[in-house]
Structure 1
């Protein structure tokens, strides 16, 4: 068996490498094509502009190593191993295929998370080899992060990171058949900010032709208001001592802009309510142009109603934020003060606490984590299902408690989705010996959805609908988001 394999793309020929799959079933090998540029490097005159498609090249381009990443330095927040790769050509796709000579295979396009300011498509947890094993061509994409991707600049295109997603999806439409995939069977998926990204795309009229199904894991919507984006952009430019224009901000080095961005967007404990109420400070902006209205308004208006959607969250996404010293400090905080800080109205507190009595019994830190999780993630799940009305939607919960933390924290479900429990840094998040049977459940449902458009349990039907609850054992439960109803 030869080690290398070549494919002809629209811009030129690329050379990838064969590797084995794991699990002992399906396709025994996977071909990885890493760091294929879909756009010109966003530097110099292109730094704050819409992405420009990559110009054709001569000869064969090696696609054997990950391309440069938009992530710089160590953001200190990622729970997933997401390495940075130095370089200028940061707009790349990574393609994993079981057979480039095949035709009509379903396609998964993965958009990484990281709060819209961090994250990397070069994570070993995003390797598509075991989706390949099960007959799914897999693509992970990169995009500009932070202010470069989403910051307001007076005379620059808005939502540059969103425009990167769109061009990457255009690349998939033009090229994925050469890797064995079907451009008419594309499912977009992502986690955290990546989950928010695919929901944003679901609500965008001009993105509809680029995909055919959506799988949103712990989706964190941006939907930053235009006025808030402008206020931050002007403040950051002022702190740099330049005009809030392309010419002005182009004189600010990447390192300095990152430092100013961090300072301008830092949220301390006293800002928790602001983050809950207003969302992340950088992310997709409701600019009236590319994103014409908030995502949930678009879904209520019927945008994306023809696309099947799976969405869900872990049970305790952000509970780890209240571990250690924070947990000790919270012991002395009155419950009413805690609930007030997280914006839970007095009129619903009794109902909410009764619905979450199991968590209340575990102490203030666990209650704080659950409230934060509910306000930022879990209420979005039944909320978006209701927004979509009769559109085909499935809900899930990931409830298996990590062997490391004792609850189902943020990012825990990602290695189960990719079926990569043998991956690096797994014990730090999941503890020793995470259950392969659960990975079979989560990954198997994802493969079924990508392949057939049905993940294998009952679709959402308002409160009567079942929810797939991933745990040991996995089960289907009616009205499994009842504990957040008071917050809706």
Structure 2
């Protein structure tokens, strides 16, 4: 049975709902809507609610147009201006619970915090409060424009973390036990904020899932913005893009981007990222434990079961795999031991994992298919389409337990990494009993470890 649930927080009264032992408060604005003069400006904290705020449904999403017609993760777009919002999922009667703050992926261009794959019900079951954050995307969030503060999307995340610090105790969370986590661009954002002096003290642990050092070079970004402006018939400036609606702008980004992997993202040279994330990681956040890893295939998936029976489809799949291998190695897997090596002087540890379970639907351990396992939501919409009809619940239990243990402050059961050859990594779901050398070049052979109990 679903019942109304009200929390009185410093931000004001928030009205959500309760189902069983799980409380949900969805779409809570943490900043003023980024419209008008605020569109290309630093986020402004939301004023205290003067009336109870209805948090019974997901808030507006910064994504107006998805990155592609079909995405692995269900990523609904919700219309509206109040895109700087967050959702809280908490256990009933929670007190001083650890907090997981989740940053969604989408190449810094798209993605949705309203995805059913990010529902925190299993974390709530295990005594963790989950906060899912929406932030500005694409040109609005990451275009280096004259007269615009850089890294607006990262600034949004920092303000959301401030909101968590001030309000999460009212929802049963512990503001001194916050883990910042994310996947893909969200995982890259975690590494960027871990490397940022501006983020110091805002979170105590960090998890980067299929992240990397996704810094966007300014020259690359400027070139893309010039092509984008030409496509839209406006100058590539704050004034030019301010006259274009968000949906039209995002559609143009999708059209102009073509096959380019990273066209907009965090840039260096401001107070958020004075130096590159890689350089910053060697000097900041060294007291923050970090768990990071990647899937075995990411963007170079294997041969789908239905493609193997057809020679032409088989050849096309193998060609696509070859093309994706460089992306997998360079952006994702190589970043993991590199991060460990950069943090070798850290007082807190760095732990690596590798997700190896091959989805029969995608033909490999591909990008995004590990999320339902970490969240333990194998019954969520869209999971069967991405994972096949029988994804292993035992694997989800193991991965989720490891993540919950880390969020609770436990030391992972396998050895920390230094970024040197021979580092141990936790393997998830590799076919066969014995570990095998990784073929993508991102890791050395790794040794599996037993899952740590929750």
| TM-based fold match above 0.5 | yes
| CA distance 1:476–1:115, change in 2 (3 Å) | farther
Q: How far 1:249 moved relative to its partner? A: 2.4
Asked if structure 2 preserves the Cα contact closer than 8 Å seen for 1:465 and 1:478, the reply is no
Asked if structure 1 preserves the Cα contact closer than 8 Å seen for 2:302 and 2:321, the reply is no
Q: How far 1:222 moved relative to its partner? A: 2.5
User: Map of 1:348-367 to 2, 5 A cutoff?
Assistant: 365-367=320-322
Residue 363 of structure 2 corresponds to residue 406 of structure 1: yes
SS at match of 2:71: coil
Q: How far 1:38 moved relative to its partner? A: 0.3
Q: Which of 272, 295, 303 is the aligned partner of 1:290?
A: 272
Q: Deviations over 1:117-154 (max 9, x none)?
A: 11100011101111011011110000011111111221
C-alpha distance in structure 2 between counterparts of 1:208 and 1:202, whole Å: 8
Asked if structure 2 preserves the Cα contact closer than 8 Å seen for 1:448 and 1:456, the reply is no
C-alpha distance in structure 2 between counterparts of 1:482 and 1:417, whole Å: 23
Q: Which of 74, 80, 105 is the aligned partner of 1:81?
A: 74
Residue 385 of structure 2 corresponds to residue 385 of structure 1: no
Q: How many residue pairs end up in the alignment?
A: 437
Residue 411 of structure 2 corresponds to residue 454 of structure 1: yes
Asked if structure 1 preserves the Cα contact closer than 8 Å seen for 2:90 and 2:124, the reply is yes
SS at match of 2:100: strand
Residue aligning to 1:421? 378
Larger Rg: 1
Q: How far 1:32 moved relative to its partner? A: 0.3
C-alpha distance in structure 2 between counterparts of 1:476 and 1:219, whole Å: 27
Residue aligning to 1:257? 249
C-alpha distance in structure 2 between counterparts of 1:180 and 1:424, whole Å: 28
| CA distance 1:287–1:181, change in 2 (3 Å) | same
Residue 36 of structure 2 corresponds to residue 6 of structure 1: no
User: Map of 1:23-34 to 2, 5 A cutoff?
Assistant: 29-34=21-26
Q: Which of 118, 126, 140 is the aligned partner of 1:126?
A: 118
Asked if structure 2 preserves the Cα contact closer than 8 Å seen for 1:236 and 1:260, the reply is yes
| CA distance 1:436–1:219, change in 2 (3 Å) | same
Residue aligning to 1:374? 329
C-alpha distance in structure 2 between counterparts of 1:102 and 1:128, whole Å: 14
| CA distance 1:437–1:43, change in 2 (3 Å) | same
Structure with greater helix percent: 1
| CA distance 1:475–1:453, change in 2 (3 Å) | farther
Q: How far 1:472 moved relative to its partner? A: 5.9
SS at match of 1:96: strand
TM normalised by structure 2 equals 0.89
C-alpha distance in structure 2 between counterparts of 1:390 and 1:481, whole Å: 29
Asked if structure 2 preserves the Cα contact closer than 8 Å seen for 1:438 and 1:472, the reply is no
C-alpha distance in structure 1 between counterparts of 2:30 and 2:337, whole Å: 36
Residue 164 of structure 2 corresponds to residue 172 of structure 1: yes
Greater shift, 237-246 or 85-94, is seen at: 237-246
- Computed over aligned residues only, the root mean square deviation of the Cα atoms, in angstroms, reads 2.8
Residue aligning to 1:344? none
Structure 2: gaps (5+ residues): 445-454
SS at match of 2:214: coil
